[in-house]
Amino acid sequence: MYKFFLKRAVDFILSLSGIFVLALPMIVIAIAVKLDSPGPVLFRQKRVGIHKTYFNILKFRTMRTDTPHDAPTHLLQGATSYITKVGGFLRKTSLDELP
């Protein structure tokens, strides 16, 4: 009985409370990204998963929109010039991966 009803209820309540707790910081970050530079707030990034299959994740945008696409940051010439002010903070605190 625990497996079917109580566990499901606990999972639902905890996930719902997590959404409410994280909603306000995500809204604040989204507004900060939008005010810092024009363009979308979120972007998709391709990652490698289990069995070497690719999947997309959403992240807060930390770089300008004129940055070369599909190029890793460490391979860009002058990569720090592409990172926005808010983006630097988001990367240091890993908040860019919150979504």
Give the separation between CA 56 and CA 46, rounded to whole angstroms. Answer: 5
Q: By C-alpha distance, which of 53, 55, 54, 74 is closest to 63? A: 74
pLDDT of residue 42: 94
**Are the C-beta atoms of residues 54 and 47 closer than 8 Å to each other?**
yes
Query: Where exactly are the structural domains of the chain?
Result: 2-97
Q: Residue 15 — pLDDT band, cuts 50, 70, 90?
A: very high
Query: What are the E-state strand segments in 1-99?
Result: 42-48, 54-60
**Are the C-beta atoms of residues 59 and 29 closer than 8 Å to each other?**
no
pLDDT of residue 8: 87
pLDDT of residue 31: 96
pLDDT of residue 1: 65
* Interval 26-85: pLDDT, tens: 999 999 999 999 999 998 888 899 999 999 999 999 998 888 776 777 777 777 778 899
Give the separation between CA 34 and CA 61, rounded to whole angstroms. Answer: 9
Q: Residue 2 — pLDDT band, cuts 50, 70, 90?
A: low
* Interval 79-94: pLDDT, tens: 777 889 999 999 999 9
**Are the C-beta atoms of residues 26 and 99 closer than 8 Å to each other?**
yes
Cα distances (angstroms) measured from residue 8 to each of 14, 20, 22, 99: 10, 18, 21, 23
